Structure 1
Amino acid sequence: MAGRRADDAFEICATDGDDKMNSATSRKLACPRRTDTCLCGSGKQFRQCCCDHLPGFAMGEAWREPARKRQRPKVLRAIRADITQYTIYHRTNTVPLMQRLPPEEIAILSIDIEALHESVEQLTGIYGRLGRLAELPQVFERLRVNIDDPRWQRKLTYHQAIVAHLLDDVAGAKRELVKLGLITAQEADLDVLQLHIDINGDTIPLVEKLRLYDRVLELTTSRTDRIQYAAAKGVELTLAGDTAGAIAVCDEALNAARESEEERPFGPDTQLWFCKLLEVAGIAKHHRAYFDDASERLRALVEQTDYWTPAGLGHVNRCLGDVLRLAGQWEEGAAAYSAGYDLDGNPACRIFEASCRLMQRRAKDALEIIESVDFETLEVPERADYAIAYAAIAIALRDGARLDGAAAKLKAISPVRQYFAHENVRYQLAIERARSAISAGTPVPKSSRLLDWISSMSRWFMVQPNIAGIGLNLNNMVDDAIASRRGKRPTDEEGSQ
């Protein structure tokens, strides 16, 4: 719109809420013309999209009831209308200020950017639940005209990276992040910082990663974030061999979290991350009480079936299986992993279920379970878990051929993280000793039985940005996106529009 005043492209709204909205503002509302492209990013004309659904000052409310009823197309329409409405207010009240003042002197501009950013997070959530994530890149590009400020453009680039990440386009996500420039521990945008850690975490040096975690903890006001990133920091210190540091981080975070819980009970998402923090503390301290506390909390979460999507519930069962396995409760752990697999198809659940059966000296059952997993579909960490579990089962069965197969799989894996690279070599040496014993018909050395790893550190830990949810059963889109990659997306009973 070069050469034109921004408000020249708008006309006075002609909607049911005009009188109410205009009476509360000092100027007439600047709406798109009815034939203009709608401001919600849909690509439709305003008259065909949000024109008759603008919420006025009730923004953020209209989607709640349909969300509770899982009427997802209605949720989508309401969130689109929120984006359009807020953009109209921005054009009406903030744009005139932008024509006279520099951005740093306009406090409301920052508020506008954050408010629309939150609405776009909600839009991403509902597109994810409708199975329409692939449409979002075009939506985001249309939204670039909503606010003429570099910070808004940066937010949309962040959203492009998020969606690429959810669609398993790692290269695309990294390309989008590169557009944001060098991201360091001085980064002021919490969302960008979290996404950078999630996407590039495996290649970030330890010292820099710890600085990034500290920066997140400095910037965030979310107790879920504080628990999640304290747990992540504890994992990093444990992997680096700094057990004392890990214990100190966990103790501080646990004390703060318990005090917070006394003031206000945890919601399901916060509770889930608190259980992960308990797990990390239990690993660092070698203390079963932490695993028992976590398992009790996770059992309660499993019962909240109305809150979780099927994929989210599968993930909770996986977490329950982890702490039960770490506590040596093999039967219950196997059952939790089995339930998790049935819900979201995560092959790691089958691998660890097999491990639990092996610990019960049910090697043949363990073999049947693990051989049901397609090794070629696994990601690198899961391949390592598979190879080690398969080797342990082969050793228990004294099956040299299968042990050779497991050794070949393990040798072909090149872990990025130094800790796991060292572990990989250690396991390969243990397998060689076991192979020699089996060939010679002698007992396998205790150091080569590979059973200790099953009750040691959980290999899995994901630090992911918190995607804003939009109500019951709609805030687990990350889990759903992962489930869809495995070909087991929960079916959506609603149509799309």
Structure 2
Amino acid sequence: MLHIGEPIEPLLRIDVNALREYVDRLSWLYYNNGKWTVWPATLERLSANIDHEWWQKKIIYQRAVMHLAPGGSRSKARQELARLGPITPAEDDIEILQIFIDLELRNASFSERTAFFERLLDLDESPESQIQYRGGKAIDLLLHGDPKAAKTQLRDLLDEYRNDDVLSPFARQKIYDVQETLGAITDDDVLLRETAAELSAEMQDDIWTDQGRSNLYFQMGDCYRYAREWELSIGAYEAAIVLNGGPLCQIHLAECLLYQREIGKAVRQIEGVPIEDLDEPGMMDFIFTYSAVSIWSEKVEMLEKARCWLKALEASEPLFNARRLDLLVRVTETAAKGTATTEAKEDSAPEGGVAGASRALLLQPNFFGIGINLNEIIERFSARKKKTQLAIEHHDTLDEEADDDKT
């Protein structure tokens, strides 16, 4: 290329992207073979492979991803990502756009978020990105007061992808997200139950790890929760927790117990949530649920904690800020009177549910949480290769026999 005077950048880009795929595989292997503690040193060594800014960006990206694994720190991931400097919608690296949207775009303006979503959708036509980020745009419309447009966009996504037989597991889970969201905002109990049934069937596939099944149980619990099927929802959340489900399972389980008027159990459940493991939307769900449980329990200590958390909470979306202010009034009123009025209880546990921020704001790209069993994928691929090879050999044998007949 250099000899004939052509630009070398296309070849370098190919090499960088090819090596990046190897690093992705390595990270998965290190994580799943208990070698995660030495992965940072490995990334440091790999950073010297190519002395070019494109490769350094990939390594910084991998360092940020490392902190998004279970038990990691989103704040440390942000610190790593900040080393890339300002990131704008002109960025042409799909992965960097994905992680930037997840880590930094939550509190951006509607127009800024839209610009990043549209840029990513232009660059990546894969079903995974189209479903995830078109869904993200629809959620933004809902949060900013245009539910009609949000419903239209979600329905369009379902019409386009719901019956697609070749979607990846991640894309299928995102379609379940779309179905769940549409069912929740349209109060379509039939769609919610259908989605729960599809999630149950999905779990029969060996492609999912325990973590993946836990995520599916959690999603099933949400479907039943929005459909007000409290017993079924409780069962799904409990199954998710058994499979090492995260604190959101505990939060939503506490909400279901509250609606079942199991106030003592709800108190014990919400008090046991490890809040240090929660991200911003998760913390919002926790505070809203904790506040509702504190009102129904009328416990002074809980009401005081809830009041402090609600005062300190920053909710940029108008929908969630209105919810925060309403709960703050009811918590303060209950603490002052020493007892909860009927109105306070009804306001704290409305018909539409208590918690919802974590689902509405879930835009993470697919790193570790989805729980796909790569070994199963490899085995299936190998089986297909073997079957194809046998078919080729059989075809060759028939050709040889035909040649012998001709002879």
Match for 1:292: what amino acid? R
* 1:291-440 map, 5 Å: 291-304=192-205, 306-375=206-275, 378-400=278-300, 402-415=302-315, 417=317, 419-435=319-335, 439=339
Give the distance between the partners of 1:475 and 1:429, measured in 2 at CA. Answer: 52
Per the normalisation by structure 1, the TM-score is 0.67
Conservation of the 8 A alpha-carbon contact between 1:468 and 1:475: no
The amino acid across from 1:152 in the alignment is W
Match of 1:222 in 2: 126
Q: Indicate if the aligned counterparts of 1:415 and 1:421 stay in contact, CA closer than 8 A.
A: yes
CA contact (8 A) 1:157 1:180 kept: yes
Query: Residue 454 of structure 1: which of 348, 353, 361 is its match?
Result: 353
- 1:242-298 deviation per Cα after TM superposition (whole angstroms, max 9, x unaligned): 212212221222221135x1xx34332221111111122223333223322321221
Q: CA deviation at 1:333?
A: 0.5
Deviations 1:319-352 (A, max 9, x none): 1111110111111111111111121241221121
* Aligned residue among 16, 38, 55 for 1:152: 55
Deviations 1:419-476 (A, max 9, x none): 433321121113234445654x86445653433352674533422223499x962499
Q: Aligned-pair distance for 1:220?
A: 1.0
State the alpha-carbon separation in 2 of the partners of residues 376 and 115 from structure 1: 37
What RMSD in Å do the two structures reach over aligned CA positions? 3.1
Q: Structure 1 residue 146: deviation in Å? A: 3.4
Aligned partner letter, 2:143: L
Q: Any conservation in 1 of the 2:162–2:175 contact (CA below 8 Å)? A: no
Corresponding letter in the other structure for 1:150 = E
Q: Per the alignment, do residues 294 and 455 of structure 1 end up closer, same or farther by CA in structure 2, a change over 3 Å counting? A: farther
How much does 1:98 deviate?
A: 5.0
Supply the AA of the counterpart residue of 1:348: L
Q: In proportion to residue count, which structure has more helix?
A: 2
Q: Which residue of 2 aligns with 1:116?
A: 19
Q: Distance in 1 between matches of 2:367 and 2:82?
A: 21
Structure 2, unpaired ranges of 5+: 377-407
1:309 and 1:230 map into 2 onto residues whose CA distance is: 27
* Kept in 1: contact 2:131–2:157 (CA 8 A): yes
Deviation by residue 1:84-115 (Cα, 9 ceiling, x = unmatched)? xxxxxxxxxxxxx457645x356443322222
| Equivalence map 1:15-26=2 (5 Å) | none
Alpha carbons 1:395, 1:449 under 8 Å: kept:
yes
Mind listing any 5+ residue stretches in structure 1 that lack a counterpart?
1-96, 477-497
Matches of 1:336 and 1:126, distance apart in 2 = 30
Preserved contact between residue 208 and residue 373 of structure 2 (Cα < 8 Å) = yes
Deviation at 1:416, TM superposition (A): 5.4
Instruction: Supply the distance in 1 between the matched residues of 2:4 and 2:80 (Cα, whole angstroms).
Output: 32
Give the AA of the match of 1:156: I
Partner SS for 1:454: coil
Q: 1:169 to 1:99 in 2, by over 3 A?
A: farther
What is the CA–CA distance in structure 2 between the aligned matches of 1:448 and 1:106, rounded to whole Å?
Answer: 60
- Offset of 1:159 from its aligned partner? 1.8
Could you tell me which residue of structure 1 aligns to residue 66 of structure 2? 163
| Number of aligned residue pairs | 373
Letter in 1 for 2:349: L
One-letter code of the match for 1:331? E
**2:33 aligned partner:** 130
Residues 122-131 or 391-400, more deviating: 391-400
Q: Percent identity?
A: 28
- Output the CA distance in 2 between the equivalents of 1:248 and 1:450: 28
Residue aligning to 2:182: 281
Residue 462 of structure 1 aligns to a residue whose secondary structure is coil
**Cross-structure match for 2:387:** none
State whether residues 259 and 349 of structure 2, in contact with CA within 8 Å, keep that contact through their aligned partners in structure 1. Answer: no
Supply the distance in 1 between the matched residues of 2:258 and 2:230 (Cα, whole angstroms).
Answer: 9
Q: Supply the AA of the counterpart residue of 1:229.
A: Y
Q: Is the Cα–Cα contact under 8 Å of residues 437 and 443 in structure 1 kept in the other structure?
A: no
Measured in 2, the distance between the counterparts of 1:475 and 1:222 equals 23
Q: Does the residue aligned with 1:430 lie in a helix, a strand or coil?
A: helix
Q: 2-side partners of 1:126 and 1:205: how far apart?
A: 38
Change beyond 3 A, Cα 1:322–1:475? farther
Instruction: State whether residues 318 and 337 of structure 1, in contact with CA within 8 Å, keep that contact through their aligned partners in structure 2.
Output: yes
Q: Deviations over 1:184-222 (max 9, x none)?
A: 222211111101111112232221111111111111132
Judged with a 3 Å threshold, the aligned counterparts in structure 2 of structure 1 residues 110 and 241 are, in CA distance, closer, same or farther, namely: same
- Kept in 2, the 8 Å contact 1:433–1:448? The answer is no
Q: Which residue of 2 aligns with 1:256?
A: 160
Distance 1:237 1:125, change over 3 A: same
Q: How big is the shift at 1:177?
A: 2.5
How far did residue 369 of structure 1 move?
Answer: 2.5
Residues 143 and 442 (structure 1), Cα distance of their counterparts in 2 relative to 1, 3 Å cut: closer
Kindly indicate whether the alpha-carbon contact (under 8 Å) linking 1:311 and 1:343 is maintained by their aligned counterparts in 2. yes
> What secondary structure sits across from 2:261 in the alignment?
coil
- For 1:137, what is the secondary structure of its paired residue? helix
User: Which of residues 174, 191, 195 is equivalent to 1:290?
Assistant: 191
C-alpha distance in structure 1 between counterparts of 2:76 and 2:4, whole Å: 38
Distance in 1 separating the partners of 2:60 and 2:3: 25
Q: 1:185 aligns with which of 89, 92, 97?
A: 89
- When Rg is computed on C-alpha atoms for both structures, the one with the higher figure is 1
